[in-house]
Amino acid sequence: IMVSASVPNDTTFHPSTFILLGIPGMRDQHIWAAIPFCSMYVLALIGNGTILYIIMKERTLHEPMYLFLCLLSITDLVLCSTTLPKMLTIFWLKSHIISYQGCLTQMFFVHTIFATESAVLLAMAFDRYVAICRPLHYASILNAMVIGKIGLACVVRGLLFVFPFVILIERLPFCGHHIIPHTYCEHMGIAKLACASIRPNTIYGLTVALSVTGMDVVLIATSYGLILQAVLRLPSKDAQFRAFSTCGAHICVILVFYVPAFFSFFTHRFGQQVPPHVHIVLANLYLLVPPVLNPLVYGINTKQIRLRIFDFFMGRR
């Protein structure tokens, strides 16, 4: 492999560098594949940046739903910025080398921010449940202090569950294996290069995916199930339609976030028959597509934000 020529082929416990191949089997198409990825990244930056600016500028939007939306936009910006700049240098500049510490740092942020965003989506589902099913208690249940504690808990939970990934990788010997067939560093992608048993990595990774992220999915589904039950009891068909369309859009974005992520998690462990390029493309989608869609579905689809964005671009206050 051409890119491995500049890396010494010595046998070390921890290599000084790794090589990120990009999308296996599509190296000739990297230049063209980078265009949609770059376009989505720019859209994610503009969309989430606009949402943050509007909510922070307008004091009338300093309410629970919009504060959760701020948290979502921040996690989206960090999630895609953790991987996309390096991915684009791989595709356009053929800069495949990443340091060992840089790889572990990227892995840590990718998984931490994913876990944090999962928790934020759960918090937003709970917010909608309280607003629709317990409207009289909304202000007392979700005040500013509670929202701050929820936001902190989302971040701390991600840090606590992902930090053991770093410890599990540090204990592995790599015996000169440097090449990661991926566009970014993730836990199992690194662990598979080791020349020792990775059973603890596999068990812990599955445990986190099923017990933490899996539980988020169950609780989000439960919240939206209760919301839909409440919506069906509304007397107005027009109100039912608006609520169904809003919930339907939210559920679609949630599915786009979780389905590719779980596909990637389980493909690493059980999907030997899945073509590598299919796996890697889908593994990139759950880091890119939600940050593009979330501002549209959660933000511009909200009347108050839509009006303020319109005023902003029309030059009004």
pLDDT tens per residue across span 227-255: 888 888 877 778 777 777 777 777 888 88
Residues 6 or more apart whose CB falls under 8 angstroms from that of 103 comprise 18, 180, 185, 190
Residue range 31-69, pLDDT digits in tens: 898 999 999 999 999 999 988 988 888 887 888 888 888
* Residue 4, pLDDT score: 44
DSSP 134: S
* Residue 243, pLDDT score: 75
Residue range 70-121, pLDDT digits in tens: 999 999 999 999 999 999 999 999 899 999 999 999 999 999 999 999 999 9
- Which has more pLDDT, 91 or 299? 91
Strands (E) in the chain, as ranges, are: 17-20, 97-99, 179-180
Q: How confident is the model at residue 201 (pLDDT cuts 50, 70, 90)?
A: very high
* Residue 278, pLDDT score: 85
Q: In 3D, which of 145, 142, 143, 144 has the Cα closest to residue 133?
A: 142
* Residue 164, pLDDT score: 95
Residue 6 has pLDDT above 50, yes or no: no
**Mean pLDDT, the chain, whole residue set:** 86
Residue 205 has pLDDT above 60, yes or no: yes
Residue 131 has pLDDT above 50, yes or no: yes
Mean pLDDT, range 273-297, rounded to an integer? 86
Mean pLDDT, range 283-295, rounded to an integer? 88
Residue range 20-40, pLDDT digits in tens: 998 887 777 888 989 999 999
Q: How confident is the model at residue 9 (pLDDT cuts 50, 70, 90)?
A: very low
Phi then psi dihedrals of residue 14, to 5 deg: -120, 125
Mean pLDDT, range 176-202, rounded to an integer? 91
Q: How far apart are CA 63 and CA 224, in angstroms?
A: 21
* Residue 10, pLDDT score: 46
Residue 313 has pLDDT above 70, yes or no: no
